[in-house]
Amino acid sequence: METKFDIIVIGSGPGGYASAIRCSQLGYKTAIVEKYKALGGTCTNVGCIPTKALLDSTEHYHQAATKFATHGIITGKLSLDFPQFIKRKTEVVEQNIAGLNFLMKKNKIEVFEGFASFLSDKEISVKATDGTSSTISATYYIIATGSKPATIPGVEIDKKRIITSTEALSLPDKPKSMVIIGGGVIGVEMASIYARIGVEVTIIEYFDSLIPTMDKDLGKELKKIFSKQNIKILLSHKVQSAKNNGKNATVNFLDASNNPQEITADYCLVAVGRKPYTEGLCLENTAIELDSKGRIVTNEKLQTKAENIYAIGDVVAGAMLAHKAEEEGIFVAETINGQKPHINYKLIPGVVYTWPEVASVGYTEEELKEKGIEYRVGKFPFSASARARAALEKDGFSKVLSDPKYGELLGMHIIGPRAADLIAQGVIGMEYEVTDEDMFRISYAHPTYSETLKEAYMIASGQGAINI
C-alpha cells in the first residue's frame, strides 16, 4: 500500500467520507483512516441510519395498531417479531456500508483500517487491530473523528442496564419499560421507537421543554403528541444518579419542586448529548489546540493551529449534525484546492425524526426576541390541511417568521408529516433572501402538505389564510 498522500482523512463518518470523495474528485491522492472494520462512522452504524430504520418500522406498527381500522383495513391479531425488527435495521446498515465501500473504490481512495495517531504535523501512525503499525504521511490532514455519547455526574454508563442509543439499537429482547434521561433529539427519537411498540417510556428532561434548543412552540406541540402516545414526560427534573440493579435500573432525581423521587425500569437510556472524540490522536505531537469543551480549535477556514491540518464535524464547534459535517468536509477540500466555498451555519436545518417529524431552520422566536429583532409570525395547523386530513395526520403546524418591513424570511419551524422534506423550502428561501409574499404567490400542488407553508407565508405577510 502507498504511504505518501496529498490528503489523509481521519474518520469515515459523513464528514470524513464526503471530504475524501471531494478531495479525490479534485485530483488529490487521498487516503482515509478508520478504526472500525465498517466505514460510515456513528451516523451509518449506530446513529442516523439505524435509528431511521427502526423509526420507520415502529411507525408502520403504530399505524397498523391505531389507524388501520379507520382506513377499513382489518389485520387480525397484531404482533411484533422483535428479532426481525432488529435484523431489518442491521440489513439497512449493511447496505449503506456496502455503498460506501463501492464509493471508496470508485474514487480510488486508499482505506486504512486502524487507529490513527499523530507522530508530528506531517506523519501519522496507524495501528491495526492485530497490533501492527504503519507510518503514513500527507501534505494535508482532515480530522473527522466525530463524537461519542456523553453522560452526567452520578450516572455511569455500563452498556448493560444503563445504556446509550448505541446499545438501544440492538437490545436482545423487547423491554417492558424504559426511562430516558434527556428530552433532546436523541432522547425523543428513542422514545418514539420504543413507545410505539408498547414499551412504557418515561422521559426525564432537565429543561422546561422537550427539544429545548429548538423553537419552544415545537417542544410544546411534541409534548402534546407524546402524551397522546402514553409517553410520560417529566420536565424541569434533575437526575441525581442511576443504578444497575441486575435485571433493571433505578434512576433517582429531583422533581420540579426539588423533592427527591425515583423510578425503576428495565433500562435507563442516557441521551444527554455527545462529546468530541479526540482520544488517542496524540494531538500533543502537533500544534493543535482544544477548547474548554474538548473541541478542536479552528479558524473560519476550519484550519487548526497546525496550518496543514483541518478539522470538521462533531469534533469542532457547532451543531452535531451529519449534514453539517458533510458540508464542512466538502468546504475544506475545496478550500485546500484554492476555491472560496461558503457555509451559512444559520441555514443548516435541524430535524427530529419522530412522527410527526420536527424540522427547523433559521432563527427561533426566542432568538429574535433576545436580539431585539422585529418579526411577524405566520402559523398554520395541519388539522386545516385537506391532505393531512385525508392521511389522518392532523397533528402539528407550519410556522414562518419574517421581517415586517421587507418580508424577508427569518426562520421556519415545522412539526408535522414530512417536515424533514418540507424544511428544504425554508433553506432555499432564506439562502436567496426570498420574501414571504414571493413564497405564497408561487403555485403549490393541491392537496399537499406543502400548502401549510403557503398559508403560513400568507398569514406572516398580513394577507390572511385561505382554508385548505
Catalytic residues: 446
d(CA 373, CA 400): 15
162 labeled part of a ligand binding site: no
52 labeled part of a ligand binding site: yes
187 labeled part of a ligand binding site: yes
182 labeled part of a ligand binding site: yes
351 labeled part of a ligand binding site: no
Cα→Cα distances 67→56, 63, 75, Å: 15, 5, 11
C-alpha cell at 169: 439499537
Sequence-distant (≥ 6) Cβ neighbours of residue 390 within 8 angstroms: 447
d(CA 215, CA 324): 19
378 labeled part of a ligand binding site: no
Nearest one of 140, 141, 104, 92 to 18, comparing CA atoms: 104
40 labeled part of a ligand binding site: no
∠ CA 333-334-337, rounded to 5°: 95
Q: Helix (H, G, I), strand (E, B), or coil: what is residue 61?
A: helix
294 labeled part of a ligand binding site: no
189 labeled part of a ligand binding site: yes
372 labeled part of a ligand binding site: no
Sequence-distant (≥ 6) Cβ neighbours of residue 418 within 8 angstroms: 357, 449
191 labeled part of a ligand binding site: no
Phi-psi bin for 407: left (phi > 0), alpha (psi -120 to 50), beta? left
Cα→Cα distances 418→63, 149, 156, 376, Å: 16, 28, 37, 24
d(CA 214, CA 465): 25
d(CA 81, CA 143): 41
Q: Helix (H, G, I), strand (E, B), or coil: what is residue 179?
A: strand
147 labeled part of a ligand binding site: yes
218 labeled part of a ligand binding site: no
186 labeled part of a ligand binding site: yes
Q: Helix (H, G, I), strand (E, B), or coil: what is residue 244?
A: strand
145 labeled part of a ligand binding site: yes
Backbone φ and ψ for 260, nearest 5 degrees, come out as -70, 135
d(CA 454, CA 465): 9
Cα→Cα distances 349→5, 267, 412, 413, Å: 34, 32, 9, 10
Q: Helix (H, G, I), strand (E, B), or coil: what is residue 127?
A: strand
46 labeled part of a ligand binding site: no
321 labeled part of a ligand binding site: yes
Amino acid at 124: I
Alpha carbon distance, N-terminus to C-terminus of the chain = 62
Q: Which residues are annotated as a binding site?
A: 52, 145-147, 182-189, 205, 273, 314, 320-323
Residue ranges at the known binding site for FAD: 52, 145-147, 314, 320-323
Q: Which residues are annotated as a binding site for NAD(+)?
A: 182-189, 205, 273
